[in-house]
Structure 1
Amino acid sequence: MGTGWEADGGAEAAGAAGAPPTSPTVAVRAALRARPLRFPFTRDALRCWAYLVGGAPLGLLVAVLLAVLAVLGLGLAVVGVGLPLLLALALSGLPVGALERRRLRLVEPLPVPDPHRPLPGAGRRARLRTRLRERATWRELAHTLLVGPPLTAAGFGLIALLVFSGALVVSPVVVWAMAPESVMLIPGHAVPGPLHALPATAVGLAGLFLGGYAAALLTTVHVRLARLLLGPREEGLGRQVLELTRSRARLVDAFEAERRRIERDLHDGAQQQLVALTMTLGLAAHELRGRAAAPGAGAGGGGGGGSGSGGPVPDAAGDPVLDLVDRARGEARQALEQLRGLVRGIHPQVLTDHGLAAAVTEVALRHPVPVEVDLDLPGRLPGPVESTAYFTVTEALTNAAKHSAATAVTVHGRVEGDRLVLQVTDDGRGGADPAAGAGLQGLADRVAILRGRLMVTSPIGGPTRLRLEVPCSG
């Protein structure tokens, strides 16, 4: 049993901000494909007829009202009275679009979302300005002015077909009721009896049968246009994803700047204070030793002259104060070494001064497991790329030393095309799990910022391979 893991930041970002997701299938079209011959006799066909028959007179009423608003608005615009009417015309798509989205629920179980952003607590003027600036407002107006009339006309045509076909279906009953007089079903052709009207019934049934398919076609067109013009557009979602990506990159830049500030403060502040403390403690220890030697020299010189220099010198090794000072000096030196290691871990100076190859080589020399470094780079890479690659290598080497019981590690890196390809391989026991807190998920998030790819292959028994691919553009 093995473990394989891949984090592809570039594919994720491109997929989110690039091609929009596939639009959902129209329910009526799906029902038509599932039961093509039985569709005119299903409830879906009845819903389509109800949707189109109800929308035709509603569309006619909306067309008349818009025509009145346009004529009065343009006619009265010269005196300033028509401007509110023209504004009402521009905003007429809002209520019509909201009503159409509600009517679509009759034939479409998947609702069309409202494309307008909510404005809780906003005043009338703020709402008006916001709605006029939104593209969704003008798409709804286009649906009302350009798409509504043709679909309304098609709806009336379907109503005429249904009425005519229904009349033909019941024509034998009409002829029987009016007997013995003949009935003129078709101009110039009188039907003397009910049996002679049966062909008209067959034609009417055929018309109703075809009307079911016509209703499905018109309803599908309605739903697709409503999703296109009355629903939220995918470009808005793409802009949001792009802005999220940019904000994440800005957060990383802010973190990098804060990291450098902390590094500078530690190097120039706390580290220098520890150095000064170590020197002060050294001077204090030297002064204590000098004072311990001074009484012996003075006692020997009390008889006169410098003959006292040959007298006994008291031993300062047993002085408890001096022991405490030496101990404090040793602890200060240890704290200084730890602080220097911490500063190097935040961002090594050799990486800034000499680049990725030198920094990785320095880490390999200090690593407890033998590390073979094979980095062939054409020159310096952008700072974010070098930093990401360096911390990827250090994380892999740390995991190899702590978790895999490896005896040898290989670091191989090349620039292939415009991408840095880096691979770290160890001969440990494998089984690396990103969910176990080994730092791999954090590396993947860091790589995703640069649209890179991080792949880990770690079968049980080893070896473990960590492969990094990141664009050199940074």
Structure 2
Amino acid sequence: MGELVLSSTSARRLRRAREVALAARLPIEVSRLRLELRAALRDVRDSRSRLVETATAERRRLERDLHDGAQQQIVSVGMRLRSTQRGLAPDSPAHRDLDLAVEALEATIAELRRLAHGLRPSRLDDGLPAAVHALVADAPLPVRVSVADVRTTESVATTVYFAIAEAWTNALKHADATSAEITVAATDDGALLVSVADDGIGGAGDLTAVRDRAASLGGSVSVESPHGGGTRVQVHIPGSP
């Protein structure tokens, strides 16, 4: 909004005032649209954050339900079958059938645990630094890990962990590296900067899965991977607005 005040009126002054008003209309309108766009983007960012947090909470609930509900029930059924089996002759057909049934239940439990792990890694229960160190504990090559112990939301920690895991897996499979480095650091504006680097053969493609995970939180990904020059994947997760 603006106000143009004339100390005195005349035909010439009024004409110049109209000219100024007309000239100012476009930049004022552009400024108004920019403010509206900024507000709309802020609303979208806030809405996306709420959706991510809701999805993360739902994944945790599903993980808990799988562990405390279905898995425990299947274990209980397996124990009953084993108890019944002990009363049968070891060479009887029923004994062998119960063996097959228990094996099927054990395979089902393993599949449920795999699904639950994919929803949210249980390693995050001890924090992001511990989870990343556990991720590379059995690495076949030397890897330096530096993860800042910063307070993050559940969705940010999960996104960062999976982004590191996917970039790390890609390095192990394709980089032919002799060493690697993983860092997570906080920036002055509250953002997180994640880096997974190796000294391998380079030539890595676009890591779509990592990019999609970062984008879900308004983040970005850059991949530097010249042929013969190693690979560095950097993920930037912005702080709370």
Same fold (TM over 0.5): yes
Per the alignment, in what secondary structure is the counterpart of residue 136 of structure 2?
helix
Aligned to 2:94: 321
Q: TM-score, normalised by structure 1?
A: 0.43
Cα distance per residue 1:270-325 (max 9 Å; x no partner): 2212212322332232232xxx2xxxxxxxxxxxxxxxxxxxxxxx33x3332232
Residues 1:350 and 2:123 are matched in the alignment? yes
- Within a 5 Å distance, the mapping from 1:162-241 to structure 2 comes to 221=20, 223-228=22-27, 233-241=33-41
Indicate how the Cα distance of structure 1 residues 230 and 442 shifts in structure 2: closer, same or farther if over 3 A, else same: closer
Selected match of 1:339 from 112, 115, 134: 112
Aligned to 1:423: 195
Post-superposition shift, 1:359? 0.8
| Cα distance between partner residues in 2 of 1:399 and 1:433 | 10
* Preserved contact between residue 211 and residue 221 of structure 2 (Cα < 8 Å): no
Post-superposition shift, 1:373? 4.2
| Cα distance between partner residues in 1 of 2:96 and 2:44 | 59
Cα distance per residue 1:181-214 (max 9 Å; x no partner): xxxxxxxxxxxxxxxxxxxxxxxxxxxxxxxxx9
Higher helix share: 1
Indicate how the Cα distance of structure 1 residues 228 and 467 shifts in structure 2: closer, same or farther if over 3 A, else same: closer
Indicate how the Cα distance of structure 1 residues 425 and 156 shifts in structure 2: closer, same or farther if over 3 A, else same: closer
- Within a 5 Å distance, the mapping from 1:348-387 to structure 2 comes to 348-352=121-125, 354-365=126-137, 369-370=140-141, 372-375=143-146, 377=148, 379-384=149-154, 385-387=156-158
Selected match of 1:440 from 207, 210, 213: 210
Aligned residue pair count: 237
Cα distance per residue 1:50-109 (max 9 Å; x no partner): xxxxxxxxxxxxxxxxxxxxxxxxxxxxxxxxxxxxxxxxxxxxxxxxxxxxxxxxxxxx
* Preserved contact between residue 399 and residue 438 of structure 1 (Cα < 8 Å): no
Letter in 2 for 1:356: L
Indicate how the Cα distance of structure 1 residues 276 and 402 shifts in structure 2: closer, same or farther if over 3 A, else same: farther
Selected match of 1:467 from 229, 234, 241: 234
* Preserved contact between residue 382 and residue 473 of structure 1 (Cα < 8 Å): no
Aligned to 1:47: none
Selected match of 1:411 from 177, 182, 191: 182
| Cα distance between partner residues in 2 of 1:274 and 1:473 | 42
Post-superposition shift, 1:394? 1.0
Aligned to 2:49: 249
Indicate how the Cα distance of structure 1 residues 236 and 438 shifts in structure 2: closer, same or farther if over 3 A, else same: closer
| Cα distance between partner residues in 1 of 2:115 and 2:138 | 15
Post-superposition shift, 1:372? 2.0
| Cα distance between partner residues in 2 of 1:345 and 1:355 | 17
| Cα distance between partner residues in 2 of 1:428 and 1:284 | 56
Post-superposition shift, 1:266? 1.1
| Cα distance between partner residues in 1 of 2:116 and 2:58 | 13
Structure 2 unaligned regions, length at least 5 = none
Letter in 2 for 1:241: L
Which has the higher Rg, Structure 1 or Structure 2? 1
Post-superposition shift, 1:247? 1.0
- Of structures 1 and 2, the one with the larger relative CO (CA 8 A, separation 6+) is 1
Cα distance per residue 1:232-285 (max 9 Å; x no partner): 543222211111111111111111121111111111112212212322332232
Post-superposition shift, 1:333? 1.3
Post-superposition shift, 1:375? 2.2
| Cα distance between partner residues in 2 of 1:340 and 1:248 | 29
* Preserved contact between residue 424 and residue 467 of structure 1 (Cα < 8 Å): yes
Letter in 2 for 1:264: R
Letter in 2 for 1:386: A
Aligned to 1:394: 165
Percent sequence identity over matched residues?
32
| Cα distance between partner residues in 1 of 2:233 and 2:113 | 29
Residues 1:456 and 2:223 are matched in the alignment? yes
